[in-house]
Amino acid sequence: MGKILIFFILLFQIFYSYCHIDFVQIESCSSSNITLSFEECEIKNNKVNVAVLFWRPVTKIFVKVKLFKEVNSEFREIFKVPRFEWCSVLDGTSKTNSFVRSFLNSFKDRYPKAVRKCPLTGRSEMMNVTIEKKLTMMFPSGLYRFTMKSSDDLDQRGAFFSILTKIESDYA
């Protein structure tokens, strides 16, 4: 996993650009309502608000994340984080997801009601999520789709979140 991280850091340093990023549309906030349900899922003033309610204590939940880019009117997968178990990543017992753990830990201070250790109970929220208007990034201009799917042993359908984001960049 370390080699992948080094690769992305090098790409970032080589292909950085000046960007403008807008949240376009939340495409999906759906759940089976067995483990959790979405209480809030919206974009307001280019800020995203997502809140879920866990119906029962969750001690093990699997998450899969993907990023797609629109190419010739079709979305093609450009990045994927393999399915990981959220609780073991956050409590440090997962040895296979150091990149994911570092990424999630970077959000702990800003979104403590969302990035927290298990058991997951009650309301979990990420409110007023923003992406800096002008960022140094390696992404070319275009429309991107970010998806996140979660499930647990008792609820294979789980929950699904999808959002469209538009990037305008100096990097073609």
Instruction: For 50-96, write each residue's pLDDT tens digit.
Output: 999 999 999 999 999 999 999 999 999 998 988 888 888 888 787 76
Give the integer Cα–Cα distance in Å for 133 and 26. 18
Q: List Cα–Cα distances, 13 to 1, 17, 18, 143, 171, in angstroms.
A: 19, 10, 13, 22, 13
Residue written as token pair 């970032």? 12
Structure tokens at 114: 């969302």
- Reference 150, options 139, 161, 136; nearest CA is 161
**Region 3-14 average pLDDT:** 49
pLDDT at 156: 84
Determine contact, residues 110/123, Cβ cutoff 8 Å.
no
Determine contact, residues 37/55, Cβ cutoff 8 Å.
yes
- Reference 23, options 1, 56, 54, 47; nearest CA is 47
Q: Could you tell me the fold of the domain covering 16-169? A: Immunoglobulin-like (2.60.40)
| Alpha helix ranges (H) inside the chain | 2-14, 86-90, 98-108
Give the integer Cα–Cα distance in Å for 123 and 55. 9
> Is residue 3 pLDDT above 60, yes or no?
no
Q: List Cα–Cα distances, 63 to 69, 104, 133, 158, 159, in angstroms.
A: 20, 12, 28, 10, 9
pLDDT at 69: 93
Query: Would you tell me how many other CB atoms lie within 10 Å of the CB of residue 119?
Result: 13
Structure tokens at 24: 């376009």
pLDDT at 2: 52
